A and B are shown apart, each in its own frame.
Chain A
Amino acid sequence: MPDSRNLDEAINLYIKSLEEEQRNGKLIEGKKIGSEGENLTGVEKIASFVKKVVEFICLGEEVKVKIDPDANKISVYGTDLGIAIGRAGKNLQALEYIVNLIARRKRWVSGEVVIDIKNYKERKFEKLKKIALRMAKKAIEEGKKIALKPMSSYERKIVHGILSEIKNVKTRSKNKEPNRRIVIYPLKEKDAT
């Protein structure tokens, strides 16, 4: 016969593992996230807010949100969500800005919340990476600087980040918004560190 303390411990462990499972990136749908329960974690509250706003923008389109609590990332999925992303991600960016203001104000999370809709950002990152690497290669091969097309601050940040890992080039931005663009400079062997 198991003594009662061991049993309690086992039950607690079991409950903990259930709770953990719930927190870890499960699809949260419908009722749970819609109701403003007091026992939601900060990032769940944010997800609930995001879900409501996106649903509203998209005229009641069915929306699902997935939470990655470690990265403070909320991924939104649904069929017709293009308008919530907007041209060049403008609407998504505005939503993310508002969400971060609220989250910070209410101390729902520490650090920055990332929102993605239908993996838009992920796809954008891959696309920018491809362009950046191809142009960096070209700059090195031809030994000439290459200016990329104008990009938003968000896009430039991504490109700077990607190319900072390439030793034979350096990147700078020039011109004023909205025509600000990245220039890739090839480095001579001895400059490269």
Chain B
Amino acid sequence: MSDAARATLEHEGIVTGTVLKLERRVGLGGPVIVKLGRARLAIARAVAGKVEVETVEEEPG
């Protein structure tokens, strides 16, 4: 991942401890779309593949 992409992810709020929701992967090798609060982010797979994630249970309600 380039420094620019890493910085953009951080500026978008994807920092350690952030909870985000994987909305879907766009077909034909397109980016993944994640929900972060009310915002939706499209992230190239090459970048998304380098973000370490841990699955957490969705809070009820």
A binds B: no
Q: Which residues of A contact B (CB under 8 A)?
A: none
